[in-house]
Amino acid sequence: MVDGAKRSNVDGYALVGTALALRGIPYLDGGGDPQGFDCSGFTQYVFAQHGVALPRAVREQCRIGKSVKPEDLAPGDIVVFATTGAGPAHVAIAIGGDEFVHAPSSTGVVRVEHLSSSYWSPRYLGARRLGIKN
């Protein structure tokens, strides 16, 4: 284990393809499989499909890998948000450009959203890269 995650040369585009294939699956608090996902269960599941072991909790996921500047975001990077206070509370997967895929709150389903949206932009805390190649 390096930086809390098994290192791998995962293809970021392949990882994003896996994540996008899960669109429409409902949010489930504590969920970590295609029956339902919470945010960190979603990222953990997607990365596991590509041989990368992530910790389960948001706060642990946002500490692994290397920090990525917003202008350097690439497909497969983990994006971190503060949604319930000042600290990390939500994770998602960057898919390229201004978009990310995630499992949002209890009323949502896995979906794509924009980093620049009026909701997500002010809540953005940073991003992490875990041995992704693009």
Q: What is the pLDDT of residue 19?
A: 98
List, in sequence order, the alpha helices (H) in 7-111. 12-20, 39-48, 58-61
Q: For 25, left (φ over 0), alpha (ψ -120 to 50), or beta?
A: beta
Q: How many domains does the chain have?
A: 1
pLDDT in tens, 108-121: 999 999 999 999 99
**What is the average pLDDT across 16-26?**
98
Instruction: Classify residue 1: in a domain, yes or no.
Output: no
Q: What is the pLDDT of residue 132?
A: 67
Q: What is the pLDDT of residue 80?
A: 97
List, in sequence order, the alpha helices (H) in 21-80. 39-48, 58-61
Flag whether pLDDT at 1 surpasses 90.
no
90 tagged catalytic: yes
Report the CATH number at residue 70: 3.90.1720.10
Instruction: Classify residue 125: in a domain, yes or no.
Output: yes
39 tagged catalytic: yes
**What is the average pLDDT across 10-16?**
92
CA distances from 47 to 17, 28, 56, 116, 118 (A): 11, 18, 11, 24, 28
Instruction: Classify residue 85: in a domain, yes or no.
Output: yes
Out of 50, 62, 102, 114, pick the active-site residue.
102
Q: What is the pLDDT of residue 59?
A: 94
pLDDT-derived band at 6 (thresholds 50, 70, 90) equals: very low
Distance CA(89)–CA(77), nearest Å, equals 16
Residue 71 burial by CB count (10 A; 0-12/13-18/19+): exposed, middle or buried?
Answer: exposed
Instruction: Classify residue 52: in a domain, yes or no.
Output: yes
Q: What is the pLDDT of residue 134?
A: 60
Instruction: Classify residue 34: in a domain, yes or no.
Output: yes
Instruction: Classify residue 5: in a domain, yes or no.
Output: no
Out of 39, 50, 62, 114, pick the active-site residue.
39
Instruction: Classify residue 16: in a domain, yes or no.
Output: yes
pLDDT in tens, 23-81: 999 999 999 999 999 999 999 999 999 999 999 999 999 999 999 999 999 999 999 99
**What is the average pLDDT across 88-96?**
97
Q: What is the pLDDT of residue 33?
A: 98
Query: Collapsing DSSP states into helix, strand and coil, what is residue 18?
Result: helix
Instruction: Classify residue 3: in a domain, yes or no.
Output: no
**Which comes out higher in pLDDT, residue 106 or 67?**
67
Give the residue numbers spanning the domain of 81: 10-133
50 tagged catalytic: no
Distance CA(19)–CA(99), nearest Å, equals 12
